[in-house]
Amino acid sequence: MKYVINDQLALTVAPEGPLAALIVPFAKSVSAQGYSLYTIDRQLRLAAGFSLWLKQKKIECHQIASYHPEQYLQFRSRQFRYRPDDAAALRHLIGFLRSERVILAEKVSVPQVTEVKRLTQAYKQYLREARNLAEPTIAYYVPFIRHFLNDRFGNGAVTLSHLSARDVVRFVQRQASRLHRGRAKLMTTALRSFLNYARYRGEVVLDLAAAVPAVANWSMPSIPRAISADQAHLLLESICCQTAVGRRDYAILLLLARLGLRSGEVAFLELEDIDWNAGTLSVRGKNGLRNAFPLPLEVGNAIAAYLRDGRPTSTSRRVFLRARAPTRGFLSSSAVGSIVRYSLKRAGLKAPTYGAHQFRHGLATEMLRQGASLEEIGDVLGHRHPQTTMIYTKVDLEALRTLALPWPGGVQ
């Protein structure tokens, strides 16, 4: 006799064991995450089999440990073909049991916190709270500082007052030769930031930030790789907007191409960030501050089409959600990069790169060629410093002739 879960799911026999009463609540939990009926059915069968195995092993709910699912899968593989998603299904079950407090999270031994780790954590908090830097920027800075401190102090005591200009110069000289110029520049910027922080703490008296050497020949080293306007047009035309995924990807690509947003700004965009009445879009930039953009009609229509006919039902406030279960917002900006890469390959376009940033460069390049000033381009891209926008002066020298300032005292 079948054991009915709901009007669409049923097990061939009633579940047995310590988890039997939790099979139906588990089914509701998995269903709410947007999984297909086929996937839910497989997860329920594994859960029922796991419960029966626990009964046979005389293991009660409170005795379930993280290694039991692996033992059960080894036992099950003697009767059924192993599938790669079986382990993930049981992890979902264990997560559900912990969320329901049926089993407690296992205690994990806390690794010893070294002085280097303690100091880098304090520096990270300073960047986040006092400097209000964006999380991606912090994530770039901290590994360089950890490496610097480990290189100088190892596992011993960290005494910042013992740092000297020689330590700083020696570290930069060794590392710069191994790094790309962009990474080397980032390393020296991070190092100056940390040394200023050390001075702010009162542990360093000298201005060691001034001792950080410049990496030779990095200023405006290359023209940004930008997708052309024609390629961006062909890419957008290649997207099929008859499907939910197509409507989502089309709206994402339009935000990149028309507004020059960064991938993280698109990935973490929330419903409240769109003011439909005013026709504006508010995004949190790299500096942590919010920037307001006018919402072009074309972009607004694309987002509205996705929200109306493509976005899955979810409690998430993110504008763009995963197409596959679990239904939620993107975990990182790399998801937007993956959409760009997949769309370019599917369209058969040989763009300068497969990343999302090329749209930002493409917008700036096109604006420059249309006669926009560097200040206007910087405003659109949300640049805080004019030097950041200056790299686009290499793009089109003819366009820049109209922007050139007269040489003081006459032509030289």
Give the tens place of pLDDT for each residue, 169-205: 999 988 887 887 778 888 999 999 999 999 988 888 8
pLDDT value for 181: 77
Residues 357, 362, 363, 364, CA torsion sign: positive
Rg, the chain, Cα only: 28
- If one counts every other C-beta atom within 10 angstroms of the C-beta of residue 379, the result is 13
pLDDT reading at 402 higher than 70: no
CATH architecture of the domain formed by 229-399? Orthogonal Bundle (1.10)
pLDDT reading at 300 higher than 90: yes
The structure tokens listed for 29 are: 């939990």
pLDDT band at 393 (very low <50, low <70, confident <90, very high): low
pLDDT value for 222: 54
Which residue(s) pair with 3 in the sheet? 11
pLDDT reading at 370 higher than 90: no
Q: The tokens 């995450």 sit on which residue? A: 33
H/E element holding 11?
strand 10-11
pLDDT reading at 286 higher than 80: no
Residue 338 CB partners (closer than 8 Å, separation 6+)? none
Is 68 labeled as catalytic in the residue annotation? no
Of the residues 152, 258, 262, 322, which is catalytic? 262
pLDDT reading at 109 higher than 70: no
**SS3 state at 176:** helix
Over residues 355-376, mean pLDDT? 79
DSSP 205-259: -S-GGGGSPPPTT-SS-S------HHHHHHHHHHS-TTSHHHHHHHHHHHHHHHH
Q: Distance (Å, rounded) from C-alpha 365 to C-alpha 363? A: 5
Is 262 labeled as catalytic in the residue annotation? yes
pLDDT reading at 412 higher than 50: no
Of the residues 42, 286, 328, 341, which is catalytic? 286
pLDDT reading at 368 higher than 80: no
pLDDT reading at 61 higher than 90: no
pLDDT value for 355: 86
Q: Supply the mean pLDDT for the chain.
A: 84
pLDDT band at 104 (very low <50, low <70, confident <90, very high): confident
Q: CA-CA distances (angstroms) from residue 212 to 151, 160, 209? A: 16, 16, 6
> Which range has highest mean pLDDT (80-94, 104-118, 184-198, 395-409)?
184-198
**Contact by Cβ (8 Å): 358, 352:** yes
321: DSSP letter: B
Is 360 labeled as catalytic in the residue annotation? yes
pLDDT band at 398 (very low <50, low <70, confident <90, very high): very low
- If one counts every other C-beta atom within 10 angstroms of the C-beta of residue 355, the result is 19
pLDDT reading at 146 higher than 90: yes
Domains of the chain, residue spans: 3-99, 115-211, 229-399
89: DSSP letter: H
Question: Which amino acid does the sequence have at 28?
Answer: K
Comparing 85-99, 225-239, 395-409, the range with the smallest average pLDDT is 395-409
pLDDT reading at 400 higher than 60: no
Is 286 labeled as catalytic in the residue annotation? yes
Of the residues 123, 141, 306, 392, which is catalytic? 392
Of the residues 68, 92, 360, 361, which is catalytic? 360
Residue 264 CB partners (closer than 8 Å, separation 6+)? 136, 332, 333, 336
Report the share of the chain in percent with pLDDT over 70.
86
Q: Distance (Å, rounded) from C-alpha 159 to C-alpha 28? A: 55
Q: Distance (Å, rounded) from C-alpha 61 to C-alpha 93? A: 12
**Contact by Cβ (8 Å): 139, 124:** no
pLDDT reading at 260 higher than 50: yes
* Candidates 1.10.540, 1.10.287, 2.60.120, 1.10.150; CATH matching 115-211: 1.10.150
In this structure, the strands spanning 280-284 and 290-294 are antiparallel
pLDDT band at 395 (very low <50, low <70, confident <90, very high): low
83: DSSP letter: -
Is the peptide bond prior to 69 cis by the omega test (within 30 degrees of 0)? no
**Contact by Cβ (8 Å): 339, 236:** no
Q: Distance (Å, rounded) from C-alpha 176 to C-alpha 189? A: 12
